[in-house]
């Protein structure tokens, strides 16, 4: 009798905690959705779920004459996709070299990568700002893509190298016996086998620029060049509250697609981050 | 012969080495004409191409300019770093040249036949492949990561700020003055230590809370008999799925003192509708730690859930036979296994929050302002560096603080990596 009673108590307590957590998690999400449907520009005196809900803020965001939101979306996607493509290519090449060849300078190279991945690249923000200024790359997307890609190389090379190390070298050797050169082994043997890790690296190198605020904020000056993070911040920073409902609609339109993408690919994130943490 | 049996009778290696003080001549002596020619041409073109840069680069690096009308100190600094990098490259080739002449000379001393041109070519292509593959990545790394780091290190020893900034003024080397001033001038010292103190409290407070909550909820959800397990788990992951900058800005709205829902709807229930979330540093700090916990626990939750599912059930069954209570099972089995499996990632969570610029800046801009210091009440080191750079143009000081910050991060990270298994694996290096 007693264990059973204890078990019921335990389950009840668990459900209380779970319900509390679900409320804490969902409340901000529901509040922002409610705000985005609010007909006014500010929130003063409105209830969480407005009785006269409207989609006008969404329409305003999609109106190219009234708002730069779509341009920001396009900028962000462009920067993220290019960063992803270039990073994946460079990471695969460096990781393959580190994993398969024993060459002069390899040890020092790996050590450099190890130390570089510890320093977040925005720590050198003064330098990045000054250098971009000198090279006339300030306020260009190219500068951002280069900085993001450079910052992504050390950590992701480590991830990729760790994975390539687990692919048996006998496969390479048998291909070489059949007359394949270095590049062919890379392209036709190693890369296809590394697909799961390529997926992880792609995800990371896409999502990092997407969620970055600081570098984009430093490098981008004109409103038409902004990424979503900077644009959304500017939308409310100047006159906080006055355009809050518009901001809310903008937030929902970012959160929704990214959350769906994220939830459907979640297992890659967990496996990638775990590998990154334990493999170094 | 006799005792000298192993020693070669000729001294070609030394002559070759001495001759290759002028690159190429050692190779000529070794009768490797093509290779010698390559070295000679390489050296010649190096000096022709970079002679201006080499001359002015070092001058600029040392003086940072002498006349503000002509010299832009920061341009000179950048060119100086470039010169140093190019010089290192040149020296590298030079050492390669000496090394090669000596090695081939030694082969000749021992009457071995040096490789023919054809073999050398094959060596170069085979051995050069990894270098070729790494060159694009490495070049990018040098220019956008290593170059800025060198720049910051040098900047920390200059007086570059609003009053010493080109083109109107020159920047000067000031040695350790920035570091000394940070610790000696009262306002800088006060600011530095109060920012450092809050950075540490923030890092440990927020991270420990998010880790504890993540582990707790994972264990909770792993119980048998919880309904809708999958749906609830998905909900628990949601804060991680939404991009953090969106959530933080939304929270900034929720905590807003005039229209935010926290005061208007939630605290009002308890009759506490006017808490100064954004204007009182203490309340802002509490809000920040709560927000980061909300943002950060799902990752720990997801990871620990994975670990828990891999713990064999027999362990718990055996413990139950021995009459262990829930707490004993948690302390004796679950917690050690979870911590063992996730320790390295937990540490990266601490270093992440140490530099978590987004949540601090986007929530309240590091504010509210507080008297007697030149940083906001909730500024951590990285956001203080940002405002020193972007709003008060204190570049030299900002660079010095960046160096202090990087030192802390690297120390922690190296300590962590020394402990991970892969660092000790022979093949890793």
| Confidence (pLDDT) at B378 | 92
Residues A87 and A223 in one domain: yes
What percentage of residues in chain A have a pLDDT greater than 90? 34
Residues A126 and A227 in one domain: yes
| Confidence (pLDDT) at A179 | 84
Question: What residues make up the domain containing A182?
Answer: 69-237
Of the partner residues A115, A128, A213, the one whose CB lies closest to the CB of residue B148? A128
* A218, part of any domain: yes
Residues A37 and A104 in one domain: no
Cα–Cα distance, A51 to A34 (Å, whole number)? 10
Residues A45 and A104 in one domain: no
Residues A108 and A213 in one domain: yes
Q: How far is the CA of A115 from the CAs of A82, A120, A164, B415, in angstroms? A: 26, 10, 21, 12
* A233, part of any domain: yes
Question: Model confidence at A278, in pLDDT bands (50, 70, 90)?
Answer: very low
Chain mean pLDDT for chain A:
85
CB of A120 within 8 Å of any CB in chain B?
Answer: yes
Domain count for chain A, please give it.
2
Cα–Cα distance, B35 to B80 (Å, whole number)? 31
Interface test with A, best of B81, B88, B141, B379 (most A CBs within 10 A): B141
Within 10 angstroms of residue B119's Cβ, the number of other Cβ atoms is 11
Cα–Cα distance, A217 to A63 (Å, whole number)? 24
Of A35, A60, A85, the domain-final residue: A60
Residues A105 and A197 in one domain: yes
Pairwise CB contact (< 8 Å): B362 & A126: no
For A214-269, how does the pLDDT look when each residue is reduced to its tens digit (9 = 90+)?
A: 999 999 988 889 999 999 898 887 665 678 888 889 999 999 999 998 888 877 77
* A250, part of any domain: no
* A34, part of any domain: yes
Cα–Cα distance, B409 to B390 (Å, whole number)? 23
* A276, part of any domain: no
For A126-145, how does the pLDDT look when each residue is reduced to its tens digit (9 = 90+)?
A: 888 888 888 889 999 999 99
| Confidence (pLDDT) at A143 | 93
> When comparing pLDDT for A151 and B116, which is higher?
A151
- Name the CATH topology of B178-423: MetI-like fold (1.10.3720)
Residue A147 has pLDDT above 90, yes or no: yes
For A167-193, how does the pLDDT look when each residue is reduced to its tens digit (9 = 90+)?
A: 888 888 888 888 888 888 899 989 999
Interface test with B, best of A50, A127, A233, A280 (most B CBs within 10 A): A127
Residues A217 and A86 in one domain: yes
* A150, part of any domain: yes
In the A/B pair of chains, how many CB contacts fall below 8 A? 267
* A73, part of any domain: yes
Supply the DSSP symbol for A70: H
| Confidence (pLDDT) at A276 | 58
Within the 10-29 window of chain B, which residues sit less than 8 Å (CB to CB) from chain A? Answer: none
- B382 contacts in A (CB within 8 Å)? 120, 122-123
Q: Measuring CA to CA, which residue among B155, B142, B41, B35 is closest to residue B85?
A: B142
Within 10 angstroms of residue A187's Cβ, the number of other Cβ atoms is 14
Residue A202 has pLDDT above 50, yes or no: yes
Of the partner residues A48, A134, A255, the one whose CB lies closest to the CB of residue B265? A48
| Confidence (pLDDT) at A44 | 58
Domain boundaries, chain B: 2-155, 178-423
Cα–Cα distance, B387 to B23 (Å, whole number)? 50
Q: How far is the CA of A239 from the CAs of A41, A244, A247, B239, in angstroms? A: 12, 9, 11, 27
* A254, part of any domain: no
Cα–Cα distance, A84 to A128 (Å, whole number)? 20
Of the partner residues A90, A218, A255, the one whose CB lies closest to the CB of residue B140? A90
- Consecutive 10-residue averages of pLDDT for chain B (429 residues): 52 83 83 83 85 82 81 86 86 84 82 67 68 87 88 91 83 90 92 94 95 94 86 92 92 86 82 84 94 94 88 87 86 88 83 90 88 87 90 90 89 74 47
Whether this prediction's pTM lies above 0.80 is answered by yes
| Confidence (pLDDT) at B123 | 64
Question: Model confidence at A45, in pLDDT bands (50, 70, 90)?
Answer: low
- B133 contacts in A (CB within 8 Å)? 93-94, 96-97, 186
Pairwise CB contact (< 8 Å): A146 & B140: yes
CB of B138 within 8 Å of any CB in chain A?
Answer: yes
| Confidence (pLDDT) at B329 | 87
Residues A74 and A180 in one domain: yes
Residues A146 and A76 in one domain: yes
């Amino acid at each position: 009798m007693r264990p059973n009673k204890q078990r019921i108590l335990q389950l009840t307590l668990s459900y209380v905690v779970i319900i509390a957590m679900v409320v804490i998690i969902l409340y901000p999400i529901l509040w922002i959705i409610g705000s985005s449907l609010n007909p006014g520009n500010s929130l003063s005196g409105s209830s969480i779920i407005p009785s006269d809900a409207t989609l006008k803020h969404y329409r305003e965001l999609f109106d190219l004459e009234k708002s730069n939101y779509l341009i920001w979306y396009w900028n962000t996607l462009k920067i993220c996709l290019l960063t992803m493509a270039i990073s994946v290519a460079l990471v695969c090449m460096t990781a393959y070299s580190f994993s398969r060849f024993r060459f002069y300078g390899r040890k020092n190279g790996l050590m450099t990568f190890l130390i570089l991945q510890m320093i977040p690249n925005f720590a050198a923000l003064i330098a990045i700002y000054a250098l971009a200024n000198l090279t006339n790359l300030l306020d260009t997307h190219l500068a951002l893509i280069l900085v993001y890609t450079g910052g992504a190389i050390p950590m992701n090379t480590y991830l990729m190298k760790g994975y390539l190390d687990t692919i048996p070298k006998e496969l390479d050797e048998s291909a070489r016996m059949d007359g394949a050169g270095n590049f062919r082994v890379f392209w036709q043997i190693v890369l296809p086998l590394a697909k799961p890790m390529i997926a992880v690296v792609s995800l990371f190198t896409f999502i990092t620029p997407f969620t970055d605020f600081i570098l984009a904020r430093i490098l981008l000056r004109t409103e038409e060049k902004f990424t979503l993070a900077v644009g959304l911040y500017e939308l409310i920073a100047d006159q906080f509250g006055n355009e809050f409902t518009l901001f809310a609609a903008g937030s929902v339109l970012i959160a929704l697609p990214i959350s769906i993408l994220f939830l459907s690919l979640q297992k890659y994130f967990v496996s990638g981050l775990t590998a990154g943490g334990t493999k170094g | 012969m006799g005792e000298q049996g192993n020693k070669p009778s000729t001294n070609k290696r030394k002559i070759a080495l001495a001759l290759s003080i002028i690159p190429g001549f050692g190779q000529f002596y070794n009768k490797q004409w093509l290779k010698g020619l390559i070295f000679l041409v390489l050296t010649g073109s190096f000096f022709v191409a970079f002679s201006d840069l080499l001359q002015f680069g070092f001058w600029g690096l040392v003086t940072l300019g002498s006349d503000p009308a002509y010299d832009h100190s920061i341009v000179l600094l950048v060119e100086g770093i470039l010169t140093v990098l190019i010089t290192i490259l040149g020296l590298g080739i030079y050492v390669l040249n000496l090394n090669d002449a000596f090695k081939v000379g030694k082969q000749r001393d021992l009457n071995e036949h040096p490789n023919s041109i054809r073999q050398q070519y094959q060596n170069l292509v085979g051995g050069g492949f990894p270098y070729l593959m790494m060159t694009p990545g490495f070049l990018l790394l040098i220019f956008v990561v290593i170059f800025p780091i060198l720049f910051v290190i040098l900047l920390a020893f200059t007086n570059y700020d609003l009053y010493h900034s080109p083109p109107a003024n020159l920047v000067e080397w000031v040695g350790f003055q920035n570091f000394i001033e940070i610790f000696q001038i009262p306002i800088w010292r006060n600011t530095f230590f109060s920012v450092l103190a809050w950075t540490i409290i923030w890092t440990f407070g927020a991270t420990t809370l998010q880790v504890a909550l993540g582990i707790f909820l994972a264990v909770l959800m792993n119980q048998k008999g919880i309904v809708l397990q999958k749906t609830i788990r998905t909900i628990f992951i949601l804060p991680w799925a939404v991009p953090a900058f969106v959530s933080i800005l939304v929270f900034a709205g929720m905590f807003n003192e005039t229209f935010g829902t926290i005061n208007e709807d939630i605290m009002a229930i308890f009759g506490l509708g006017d808490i100064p979330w954004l204007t009182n540093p203490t309340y802002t700090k509490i809000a920040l730690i709560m927000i980061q916990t909300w943002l950060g626990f799902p990752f720990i939750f997801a990871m620990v859930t994975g670990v828990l599912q891999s713990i064999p059930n027999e362990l718990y069954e055996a413990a139950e036979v021995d009459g262990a209570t829930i707490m004993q099972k948690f302390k004796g089995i679950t917690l050690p296994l979870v911590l063992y499996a996730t320790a390295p990632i937990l540490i990266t969570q601490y270093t992440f929050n140490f530099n978590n610029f987004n949540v601090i800046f986007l929530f309240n801009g590091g504010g509210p302002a507080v008297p007697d210091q030149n940083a906001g009440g909730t500024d951590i080191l990285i956001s203080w560096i940002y405002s020193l750079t972007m709003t008060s143009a204190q570049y030299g000081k900002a660079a010095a603080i960046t160096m202090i910050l990087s030192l802390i991060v690297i120390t922690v990270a190296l300590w962590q990596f020394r402990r991970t298994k892969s660092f000790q694996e022979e093949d890793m290096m």
